[in-house]
Amino acid sequence: KGMALPQRILFPPEKICMDWQQRQRPGPGLCNLGSTCYINVILQCLTYTPPLANYLLSHEHSQSCQQQGFCMMCIMEVHIRKVLHSSASAILPGAVLRDLKFIGEEFEYGRQENAYEFLRCALNAMQRACLSGSSNMDISSQETTIIHQIFGGSMRSRVTCLSCQAVTDSQKAFLDVSLDIRAASSLSKVLEDCVTPKELDLKERFKCSKCKKKVAASKRVTIHQAPRVLTLCLERADQWTGKKISKFVDYPEYLDLRPYMSDTAGEPLLCSLYAIVVHSGDTCLEGHFFCYTKASNGLWYKMDDESVDSCDTYTVLGQQAYLLFYAR
């Protein structure tokens, strides 16, 4: 199943600008109103995502927005403008806190939540805002919004019959990738394991269209279309015990996606790290989130709620990272 061609392009990819339009110091920190650090880290990481910030600073969305009431794109536009143009030492992300239930039904004000879940809900809320008034559109066209053009990619799943070698391909779009880190000590090892073919177990027996019967088969998942901004979650909650996996996983400042693509031939696909989220605490259900982001001046800063402090790349690469943000 290949991806059908979109009937409409909602946002032309050539209009996306990956480089900052202006260079400046980072903006203020964000006030924590009690267990809102999970919101603050994601807002900071999104604020310092250059193509998203460039687009929202252009007012293009708000000038054409027809949405009545809650609109996550309008909220993010106001927030990013406020942060990048403010001389205050800390500001309150009031609109986000006010509309928390619209961003994700599961979020409860005053309760510690997961930063990764908030990221996913925030991106989905922005996607919904971009699709406002376009409910009858085909799926492929829905995946041409500014959000999918920045964060979206696709995975190809290739199943190979071990009897006749016939292959069956299917594709699936994604806005982020979650990775199992239990068996690896580095991001490259985790990604290598992801793209290594795995034999399907007996319960998953595959019906081969050539052999006309259920057969032994192997499955290989690769990145088919690389996103402009790759968001990775290093899963730190053990699926079986629920306990936090506190190991250090080595991750590079520059990541070449080419070895993990469906097509491994060609130029390197280099991505540069520009933000990370760190969780401190003994369990995944409590503790504290803070982040490191690269501002438009090219320098790294530790952002921990109200405080924003400069730091070096060596410090950034030495963290027990939970979320990694890479830009092409």
Nearest Cα to Cα of residue 10 among 94, 186, 98, 133: 133
End-to-end CA distance of the chain: 27
**Rounded distance between C-alpha atoms, residue 152 and residue 249, angstroms:** 24
279, 288 contact by CB (below 8 A): yes
37 is catalytic: yes
Catalytic residue among 31, 37, 59, 148: 37
Burial class (CB within 10 angstroms; exposed 0-12, middle 13-18, buried 19+) of 131: middle
233 is catalytic: no
**Rounded distance between C-alpha atoms, residue 225 and residue 239, angstroms:** 28
Catalytic residue among 31, 65, 211, 288: 288
Q: Which residues are catalytic?
A: 37, 288
